[in-house]
Amino acid sequence: MLYNVVKALHIFFVIAWMAGVFYLPRIFVNLAMETDRAATARLLLMARKLYRFSMWLSVFAVLFGATLIYLAYGWHMPHWLHAKLALVALVIGYHHMCGPILRKFERGENTRSHKWFRVFNELPVFAMLAIVVLVVVKPF
C-alpha cells in the first residue's frame, strides 16, 4: 500500500514538474521574439513564477522517486535504473540552466534567437521519452 501511494505521488509530481520544464523554454521563445515592453514584462513574470513553482515540484518528484527506489530495491538498483537516473540528472541540469537564461532576459542581455530556443525547448522531450522507455521496457 505504501509503495503504491508513493508511486502515485511520484508520478503526479513528475507530470507537474515536466509541464513546467516543457513550458518555461516556450516562454523563452516568446520572449526572444517579443518587442513590446508590456508583453515582455508579463512574460517575464510568468517565467519567474513558473521557474520557482516547477523547481519545488522537482524537489518532491525527486524525493518520492528516491523513496520508491529505496522501497523497491534498497541499495541494489538494476542497471536500467542507473541509466534512468543519469537522464533524470540531465533533466535537473537542464531545468537549472533555465535560471541563468531567465536572469539574462530580465537584464535585457539575451543574445540567442527564438530559433535557438525552439531547439532548446525540444531537448527535455527526448529525455522524457527515453526515461519512460527505460521505466516501462527495462531493457537491461
| Dist CA 87 CA 91 (whole Å) | 6
What contacts 38, CB < 8 A, 6 or more positions away? none
Contact 61, 115 (CB under 8 A): no
Q: pLDDT at position 68, please?
A: 97
> Total domain count for the chain?
1
Over residues 50-70, the pLDDT tens digits come to: 999 999 999 999 999 999 999
Q: pLDDT at position 75, please?
A: 86
Over residues 83-139, the pLDDT tens digits come to: 999 999 999 999 999 999 999 999 999 999 999 999 999 999 999 999 999 999 999
Q: pLDDT at position 111, please?
A: 97
Q: Which domain holds residue 102?
A: 2-137
